[in-house]
Amino acid sequence: MRRIGVFVCHCGINIAQNVDVEALTKYASKLDSVVVSKSYKYMCSDVGATLIKDSIKKHELDGVVIACCSPRMHEHTFREVVSDGGVNQYRLEIANIREQCSWAHSDREKATKKAKFLVRSAVAKAKLLESLETSTLEVNHDALVIGAGIAGIQASLDLANDGFKVYLVEREPSIGGRMAQLDKTFPTLDCSSCILTPKMMEVANHPNVELLTYSEVTGIEGSIGNYTVKIKKKPRYVDVEKCTGCGDCATACRLKDRINSEFNMSRGKRGAAYMPFPQAVPLKYTIDAEHCLFLTRGKCGDKPACREACDQKAINFDQKEEIVELKVGAIVVTTGYDLLDPTSMYEYGYANSPDVITTLELERLISSSGPTLGEILRPSDQQKPKSITFILCVGSRDETECTWCCRIGCMSALKHVYLLREKLGDDVEINVCYTDVRSYGKGYEEFYRTVRGMKTNMFRGRPSEVQNMGDHQKIDIFDTTTNKLFEITTDMVVLVPALLPRADAGDFARLLHLTLSGDGFFLEAHPKLRPMDTFVNGIFIAGCCQGPKDIQDTVSQASGAASRVATILSKEELEIDPLIAAVDAEVCTGCGICVEVCPYEARVLNEKTKIAEVNDALCTGCGACIAACPSNASIHKNFTKKQLLDMVDDII
């Protein structure tokens, strides 16, 4: 018979206030096979750990049940304690009486009753738990970074400088992401390209980095330490080895200046043969298959103009999509964000007037490499505006659009005020309609003060609508600081829209088996303690794909994620959790169903013995084969049918 010890944690008062821990301890002591039952205020503390270890020795325990918080929180801690005490770490069972009892229920009596059930059930399982040993697997030392904005670039550089080989995948023709679109950055007003371009060059030239631009991840297999990733390389129809980036193809393109430039937020035009921006990396041209006359209609004049113009003979319309397979040990996802299309808030006139624009469009207008070469011109008539009005929180903090704060809107608007004042002088009227200015970062509040001193008309309130009066826009705004309604007539309106998850974040999450939080951004494993981890071991997230944040936070998080990856890649071997599938060779009929259902290719049928086997390195313990096995030959170690049914039996 097993000798089991039960240890009940008070968790301060987290558990104790809603569960009668003393009654629970006493109850546990009377259960079959339980030889000792104790409670303590903080079982995860040193004193608690010693209590468990001493009890193991004193009572010669060979199984342990700890009634405490979620195993997600402290299972790891307690496995070490039990192991130190001399019991196999897999002979520990946790009864979660915090999240499932004290936090979930307010009726103390009922919560205590439920806790007793959970402990009894845990003891039932502990009686059957087997000793298991961890095995190891070799680690692939290469990393994959998905998305080459500032987050992806930073993570790649950190890893590459640590000596790891990094594959950096970007779906656009150039790396650089959103930061490349910005003119200056708050609050220090560094020129965005001045600080970004060197990093783009560094990552492109780094011997340890392999750039895969105009490429997308289409499939992933394996698990931590050994991922196999499929990448689709879209055809550029330009031989990058030959292309010198001279631009003759773009000049010759029959669609020159006819297609909206994505990089310029449709405020500028490009051709079908194009480079998104002058500092693009790689400095190569791309032919846009969606618009190119030759590719869409099979005909472009007599001969494709770009091909004729290219001295290097770099244009190649025969290029095909290519699939490459990469093997990596860990992955960082840095896929960035989208902006809310303010058309959905029709009252703000974005769809109703060319003179209502978004902050990112203004960035392109301010930028010296933008469509107006940095001149601020009103889109409708290309005249210098005499008055510009900002509306903050467009779709942010909004139950009908995006419930969250975009975290960069206030500061980006203040930055624009500064830059516009600098460019246009004191004659231009600048109005800001804000709800609450959130200037929480280092140097942000000081920057806000500076802008307040720059003849800015601040209105504390939110307009209800923007009326297009033809040659100007009219806004009624109730200012809650003066308790007055103001009518603003203005030349241009700049909307500061909400930050959204990428439109395809859901599809991408499914592809990588990641989880989304309620807002649609990728979910971190723990909001405070594991902010870069995901629930998939070996896959990390950084930057705005995890949630809105500024460049400072993005870069910090990217370096953090790189460091988390390095921890894995620097190991020669990884311990594998033995809580995975196994096969009862006596029972297996070799039907092969398990091989078919396994999503990780961890199940193989041994041709000689006709018995299905488990590849421990690939098995994640997902349980698909166990559910599918018609003869009960597939088992999940320490989650066997007998163990689980006994747990249930003891409750009912």
Partner 1 sequence: MSITDLTSMGEPQVELKKEINDRLSKLQDEVSDYCYQCAKCTSGCEAHKLLELEPHKIVALLKQGLIDEMVNSDIIWTCMSCFKCRERCPQKIAPVEILFALKNLAVAGGKQVPGKYTSVLQSVLSIGLIQDAQSVTTKDMKTKTRDDLGLPPLSKPDDPAKFQAGLMKIAVEKV
Partner 2 sequence: MKKKLALYTGCLMSTEQYGYELSVRESLPLLDVQLVDIAGFSCCGEPLKSVNQLLTLYLSARNLAIAEKHNLDVFAPCAMCHLALSECKQVLQNNPDMKTRINEMLAAEELTFEGNGEIVHTVDLLHDHIGIEEIAKHVKKPLKGLKFATHYGCHLIRPSEIGRPDDSEHPVKIEAIISVLGAETAKYPEKLDCCGGILQINLDESALTKSGQKLKAVQNQGFDGLVDVCPWCHKMFDARQVKAGETVAAKLNVPVFYLTQLLGLAFGVKKEKLGLDFNISPVDKLEIG
Token readout for 79 is: 């496995």
Which among 99-107, 128-136, 250-258, 345-353 is the span making contact with partner 2, rule CB under 8 A?
Answer: 345-353
Question: Residues 161, 166, 171, 172: is their CA dihedral positive or negative?
Answer: positive
Residue 485 sits in the site that holds partner 1 (CB under 8 A):
yes
Q: Under rule CB under 8 A, which residues in 538-567 are in contact with partner 1?
A: none
Q: Which of 346, 422, 484, 599 binds partner 2 (CB under 8 A)?
A: 346
Nearer to partner 2, 261 or 490 (CB): 490
Q: CB within 8 A of 139, min separation 6: which ones?
A: 225, 226, 329, 568, 569, 571, 572, 573, 574
Nearer to partner 2, 493 or 539 (CB): 493
Nearest CA-CA partner of 288 in 305, 302, 276? 276
Q: Which of 352, 435, 537, 552 binds partner 2 (CB under 8 A)?
A: 352
Measured from the CB of residue 462, what is the shortest distance to partner 1 in angstroms? Answer: 4
Question: Helix or strand or coil: residue 530?
Answer: strand
Residue span 469-498 as binding mask against partner 2, x where in contact by CB under 8 A, dash where not: x----x------------------------
Q: Rounded to whole angstroms, how far apart are CA atoms 621 and 369?
A: 52
Q: Under rule CB under 8 A, which residues in 452-471 are in contact with partner 2?
A: 465, 467-469
Measured from the CB of residue 265, what is the shortest distance to partner 1 in angstroms? Answer: 24
What kind and span of H or E run contains 593?
helix 593-597
Q: Which amino acid is at 643?
A: Q
Residue 463 sits in the site that holds partner 1 (CB under 8 A):
yes
Q: Do 473 and 440 contact (CB within 8 A), yes or no?
A: no
C-alpha distances out from residue 280 to 193, 195, 243, 258, Å? 11, 14, 13, 20
Residue ranges of the alpha helices (H) in 497-550?
A: 505-512
Q: Do 187 and 447 contact (CB within 8 A), yes or no?
A: yes
Nearest CA-CA partner of 574 in 616, 513, 625, 530? 616
What kind and span of H or E run contains 390?
strand 387-394
Measured from the CB of residue 178, what is the shortest distance to partner 1 in angstroms? Answer: 25
Q: Which amino acid is at 482?
A: T
Q: Which of 203, 332, 477, 626 binds partner 1 (CB under 8 A)?
A: 477
Binding partner of residue 467 among partner 2, partner 1, none, CB cut-off 5 to 8 Å per kind = partner 2
Binding partner of residue 485 among partner 2, partner 1, none, CB cut-off 5 to 8 Å per kind = partner 1
Q: Rounded to whole angstroms, how far apart are CA atoms 155 and 570?
A: 15
Nearest CA-CA partner of 40 in 59, 53, 57, 58? 53
Residue 440 sits in the site that holds partner 2 (CB under 8 A):
no
Q: Which of 201, 351, 485, 587 binds partner 2 (CB under 8 A)?
A: 351
Q: CB atoms < 10 A from the CB of 226, how many? A: 19
Q: Rounded to whole angstroms, how far apart are CA atoms 143 and 328?
A: 5
Binding partner of residue 262 among partner 1, partner 2, none, CB cut-off 5 to 8 Å per kind = none
Nearer to partner 1, 499 or 545 (CB): 499
Residue 400 sits in the site that holds partner 1 (CB under 8 A):
yes
Measured from the CB of residue 490, what is the shortest distance to partner 1 in angstroms? Answer: 15
Nearer to partner 2, 197 or 352 (CB): 352
What kind and span of H or E run contains 597?
helix 593-597
Nearest CA-CA partner of 95 in 13, 37, 12? 37
Binding partner of residue 474 among partner 2, partner 1, none, CB cut-off 5 to 8 Å per kind = partner 2
Measured from the CB of residue 398, what is the shortest distance to partner 1 in angstroms? Answer: 4
Nearer to partner 2, 197 or 468 (CB): 468
Which among 179-187, 229-237, 317-325, 457-465 is the span making contact with partner 1, rule CB under 8 A?
Answer: 457-465
Question: Residues 592, 598, 604, 609: is their CA dihedral positive or negative?
Answer: negative
Nearer to partner 2, 238 or 475 (CB): 475
What are the φ/ψ torsions at residue 48 (nearest 5 degrees)?
-60, -45
Nearer to partner 1, 282 or 461 (CB): 461
Q: Rounded to whole angstroms, how far apart are CA atoms 71 and 406?
A: 33
Nearer to partner 2, 495 or 598 (CB): 495
Q: Which amino acid is at 528?
A: K
Binding partner of residue 435 among partner 2, partner 1, none, CB cut-off 5 to 8 Å per kind = partner 1
Q: Rounded to whole angstroms, how far apart are CA atoms 186 and 343?
A: 27
Residue 380 sits in the site that holds partner 2 (CB under 8 A):
no
Q: Rounded to whole angstroms, how far apart are CA atoms 222 and 139?
A: 12
Residue 347 sits in the site that holds partner 2 (CB under 8 A):
yes
Q: Which of 119, 393, 499, 505 binds partner 1 (CB under 8 A)?
A: 393
Nearer to partner 2, 347 or 422 (CB): 347
Token readout for 535 is: 């629930």
Q: Rounded to whole angstroms, how far apart are CA atoms 33 and 10?
A: 23
Q: Under rule CB under 8 A, which residues in 538-577 are in contact with partner 2?
A: none
Q: How many positions of this chain bind partner 2 (CB under 8 A)?
A: 10
Q: Do 630 and 593 contact (CB within 8 A), yes or no?
A: yes
Measured from the CB of residue 484, what is the shortest distance to partner 1 in angstroms? Answer: 10
Which among 19-27, 123-131, 437-445, 474-482 is the span making contact with partner 1, rule CB under 8 A?
Answer: 474-482
What are the φ/ψ torsions at residue 406 (nearest 5 degrees)?
-80, -10
Nearer to partner 2, 352 or 380 (CB): 352
Token readout for 389 is: 């009005």
Binding partner of residue 20 among partner 2, partner 1, none, CB cut-off 5 to 8 Å per kind = none
Residue 478 sits in the site that holds partner 1 (CB under 8 A):
yes
Which among 129-137, 242-250, 251-259, 477-485 is the span making contact with partner 1, rule CB under 8 A?
Answer: 477-485
What are the φ/ψ torsions at residue 151 (nearest 5 degrees)?
-65, -50
Q: Which of 60, 347, 446, 504 binds partner 1 (CB under 8 A)?
A: 347
Pairing of strands 484-490, 473-479: antiparallel
Pairing of strands 634-636, 581-583: antiparallel
Nearer to partner 2, 104 or 351 (CB): 351
Binding partner of residue 351 among partner 2, partner 1, none, CB cut-off 5 to 8 Å per kind = partner 2
Nearer to partner 2, 319 or 489 (CB): 489
Binding residues for partner 1, rule: CB under 8 A, are 347, 393, 397-401, 435-436, 461-465, 476-480, 483, 485
Binding residues for partner 2, rule: CB under 8 A, are 345-347, 351-352, 465, 467-469, 474
